[in-house]
Amino acid sequence: MFRYRVMAKLTVLSEGYTGLSFEVRSEKSSIGRLGDNAISIPEASVSSRHCEVWLKGDDIAVVDQGSTNGSFINDLKLIAEKEATLRPGQTLRLGQIQLRFELETKHNDSGRPTVQPGMIHGGGNSPTTAFAKKTNKANKIIFGVGTTLLVIIIGALVYAFGNLSSGPTP
């Protein structure tokens, strides 16, 4: 007979750290930028001691430790020092780093991990659409339009001042 072990883990979704995952256990673990945290994410938007997490049943309890850029569960900001619940399939954002909470089962005999389909609740969406990687396309468009307008304004000012300095023609 097969025996299963359920493992709670946080998998990083953010570019540069994609696929990195951390097991969450029942004892409190700190997450932060510094290497002495139980979970270290060396990224500038993550505070040195960002938050604490621990397994609480099938959920993860999260407490923001007064971080600079905040902790968010599905875009809802957590109140510093107050416990919040992260459920399977939800995202935890620490600064600019996004992590998805997953439950994974392992066979004791083979050791090969398999994610049980009913264990990840993404609100009816598949993980690829529910947690699509964000792009900064809008920022690039705004920057391009702003730069173009700036060049036009500078050109108009140079033209206007050039006509003023030559004086009126008789």
Distance CA 142, CA 90 (A): 31
Residue 121: both structure tokens together: 């609740």
Please list the pLDDT of the chain residue by residue as tens digits (170 residues). Answer: 556 677 999 999 999 988 899 999 999 999 999 999 999 999 999 999 999 999 999 899 999 999 999 999 999 999 999 999 999 999 999 999 999 999 987 666 555 544 443 333 333 333 333 333 445 677 788 888 889 999 999 999 988 888 776 656 55
CA 129 to chain centre: 15
Put simply, whether the predicted model's pTM sits higher than 0.95 gets the answer: no
Q: How far apart are CA 60 and CA 91, in angstroms?
A: 11
Question: Residue 11: enclosing H or E segment and its boundaries?
Answer: strand 4-12
The pLDDT of residue 4 is 67
* Greatest extent of the chain over all pairs of C-alpha atoms, in Å: 105
Closest CA to 92 of 62, 123, 58: 62
